[in-house]
């Protein structure tokens, strides 16, 4: 029988500015020496980590499970025949945030599971990020101890645990996996970047932390200038980079627009963390979705945008989100990077991806022309894509002829392509903008005689073989700020 005495927790601090060490009896010892953050973690009493159990028997009324509380755990609704999902929030959050409740509800709607929310608000609800990052090691140790407690008390296999962490919660899950090997799965939702990017595996989430580790990156900082809160480095067996892992669609609104729509506090928070939270939202959307969430293996996002990864290849495609583990087999490569696009609002999943190559030209006597935005809609025999903005920055037509490449997604398969709609919005700087309608007329009148659409090539992604369609074969004038429809012409295939 599994009976352990209640062990009092104490700590010993060796006070030095750097190189200090603290021990919390059954949780282990911790240091502030490199490669760890320059802080010692707080004691367990200050962090007050709690494990809140939800099942289909108590979907809205959690039961608090406590390590060493054998009677309370035995009489709880914990089901030893069901899988266990452990959800761990990140910096600033606690277990009352909306996304945690939404994820819990979505999982219980899909399956009869034990869903445990880990509340470490004693460490996360602070403006001191450095301290919160240091505290993740103690919280991770508490999660590992909890898993061991359940394993031996309930004769429950550790491979049935699935830890799901957001931001700092990803690394908490990784810490738990380092301390107790054999955890079934860890999912990192935009693992936190500061103090973890570029660090060795003992510091951050790593593929060795569970039998299967997957991560979704949505707020990366490719140039390491602290523009994003999330990591770009791969940390799992499968690493998914929707929309390149940064600058998510729908997250580009101004602060004013967010405040107008959500109020001062809600709008301000969304403005700051929209990209960082998108990993959570995409994961929740995937739980009860009938979309494939297919992502394509590729070396980097630019290669993907260039259309060089439009089939699954020998490595195979995988589904991002809740079902990411379904096709992965032991012995497959680790740190596999997979790319896809998503929509800017619910439902986010793009069932079908199309690589679009626009070939444009201009007469020799025309100067350089720029587009502020290009809008494209592909028309298929079954459906059409949404009117999709293609540019994150302006486009310059500098040479006699230039080609530009994009990825356009569709929520449903559109069938064989029959044509497209295209609108070119001219670029205007602040001086031209100040001239108003006259400047637009002046700029647009020249554009209509200078920019020609020569050809559009569309490659539709597929598991094994994609399909290719060329939509335009003769030079067409592109009129400014007018949606023009181009039909498939015979002889263009």
List 124, 167, 384, 410, catalytic entry: 167
276 annotated active-site:
yes
Q: How confident is the model at residue 250 (pLDDT cuts 50, 70, 90)?
A: very high
- 55 φ, ψ (degrees, to nearest 5): -140, 180
List 89, 237, 276, 354, catalytic entry: 276
In this model, does residue 223 exceed pLDDT 70? no
Q: What angle do CA 279, 285, 289 make, to 5 degrees?
A: 140
In this model, does residue 299 exceed pLDDT 60? yes
Q: pLDDT at position 491, please?
A: 42
In this model, does residue 4 exceed pLDDT 50? no
190 annotated active-site:
yes
Angle at which helices 255-262 and 264-287 cross, to 10°: 80
Class of domain 46-340: alpha beta
In this model, does residue 440 exceed pLDDT 80? no
For 457-493, write each residue's pLDDT tens digit.
899 998 767 777 877 666 788 888 899 998 876 444 4
Average pLDDT over residues 185-189: 99
Q: Where in the chain is the domain with CATH 2.60.60.20?
A: 352-487
List 190, 219, 285, 325, catalytic entry: 190
Contact criterion met (CB below 8 Å) for 143 and 88? yes
Percent of the chain past pLDDT 70, that is, above it, reads 84
> Distance between CA 463 and CA 356 in Å, rounded?
18
Annotated binding site: 204, 206, 209
Q: Note the pTM of the prediction, 2 decimals.
A: 0.89
Q: Which of 118-122, 235-239, 406-410, 426-430 has the lowest mean pLDDT?
A: 426-430
Q: Where in the chain is the domain with CATH 3.40.50.1820?
A: 46-340
Q: pLDDT at position 9, please?
A: 28
Higher pLDDT: 3 or 57? It is 57
Contact criterion met (CB below 8 Å) for 338 and 300? no
For 322-341, write each residue's pLDDT tens digit.
999 998 887 788 999 999 99
In this model, does residue 364 exceed pLDDT 80? no
Annotated binding site for Ca(2+): 204, 206, 209
Contact criterion met (CB below 8 Å) for 383 and 371? no
Q: How confident is the model at residue 227 (pLDDT cuts 50, 70, 90)?
A: low
In this model, does residue 298 exceed pLDDT 60? yes
254 annotated active-site:
no
Q: pLDDT at position 232, please?
A: 96
Contact criterion met (CB below 8 Å) for 321 and 381? no
In this model, does residue 162 exceed pLDDT 80? yes
Q: Which of 7-16, 193-202, 215-224, 236-245 has the lowest mean pLDDT?
A: 7-16
Q: How confident is the model at residue 269 (pLDDT cuts 50, 70, 90)?
A: low
Q: What is the CATH number of domain 352-487?
A: 2.60.60.20
Q: pLDDT at position 449, please?
A: 60
Structure tokens at 331: 């012995």
> Distance between CA 120 and CA 410 in Å, rounded?
39
């Amino acid at each position: 029988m599994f009976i352990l005495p209640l062990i009092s927790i104490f700590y010993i601090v060796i006070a030095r500015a750097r190189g200090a060490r603290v021990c919390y009896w059954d949780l282990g010892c911790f240091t502030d020496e490199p490669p760890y953050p320059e802080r010692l973690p707080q004691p367990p009493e200050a962090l007050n980590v709690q494990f809140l159990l939800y099942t289909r028997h108590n979907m809205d009324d959690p039961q608090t499970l406590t390590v060493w509380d054998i009677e309370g755990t035995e009489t709880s609704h914990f089901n030893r025949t069901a899988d266990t999902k452990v959800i761990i929030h990140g910096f600033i959050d606690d277990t009352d945030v909306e996304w945690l409740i939404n994820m819990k509800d979505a999982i219980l709607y899909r399956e009869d599971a034990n869903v445990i929310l880990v509340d470490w608000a004693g460490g996360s609800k602070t403006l001191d990020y450095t301290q919160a990052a240091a505290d993740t090691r103690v919280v991770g140790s508490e999660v590992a101890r909890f898993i061991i407690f359940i394993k031996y008390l309930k004769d429950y296999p550790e491979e049935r645990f699935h830890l799901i962490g957001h931001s700092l919660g990803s690394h908490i899950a990784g810490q738990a996996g380092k301390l107790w090997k054999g955890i079934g799965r860890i999912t990192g939702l935009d693992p936190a970047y500061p103090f973890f990017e570029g660090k060795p595996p003992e510091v951050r989430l790593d593929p060795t932390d569970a039998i299967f580790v997957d991560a979704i990156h949505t707020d990366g900082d490719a140039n390491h200038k602290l523009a994003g809160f999330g990591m770009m480095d791969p940390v799992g067996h499968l690493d998914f980079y929707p929309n390149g892992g940064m600058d998510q669609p729908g997250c580009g609104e101004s602060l004013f627009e967010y405040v107008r729509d959500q109020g001062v506090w809600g709008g301000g928070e969304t403005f700051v963390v929209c990209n960082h939270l998108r990993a959570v939202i995409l994961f929740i959307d995937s739980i009860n979705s009938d979309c494939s969430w297919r992502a394509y293996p590729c070396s980097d996002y630019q290669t993907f945008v260039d259309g060089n990864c439009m089939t699954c290849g020998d490595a195979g495609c995988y589904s991002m989100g809740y079902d990411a583990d379904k096709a992965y087999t032991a012995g497959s490569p680790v740190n596999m990077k997979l790319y896809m696009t998503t929509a800017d609002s619910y439902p986010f999943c793009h069932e079908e991806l199309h690589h679009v190559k626009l070939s444009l030209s201009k007469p020799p006597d025309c100067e350089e022309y720029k587009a502020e935005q290009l809008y494209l809609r592909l028309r298929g025999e079954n459906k059409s894509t949404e009117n999709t903005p293609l540019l994150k920055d302006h486009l310059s037509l500098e040479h006699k002829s230039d080609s530009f490449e994009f990825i356009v997604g569709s929520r449903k398969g559109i069938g064989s392509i029959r044509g497209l709609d295209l609108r070119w919005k001219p670029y205007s700087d602040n001086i031209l903008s100040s001239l108003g309608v006259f400047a637009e007329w002046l700029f647009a009148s020249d554009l209509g005689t200078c920019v020609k659409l020569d050809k559009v090539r569309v490659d539709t992604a597929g598991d094994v073989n994609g399909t290719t369609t060329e939509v335009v074969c003769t030079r067409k004038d592109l009129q400014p700020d007018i949606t023009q429809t181009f039909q498939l012409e015979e002889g263009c295939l």
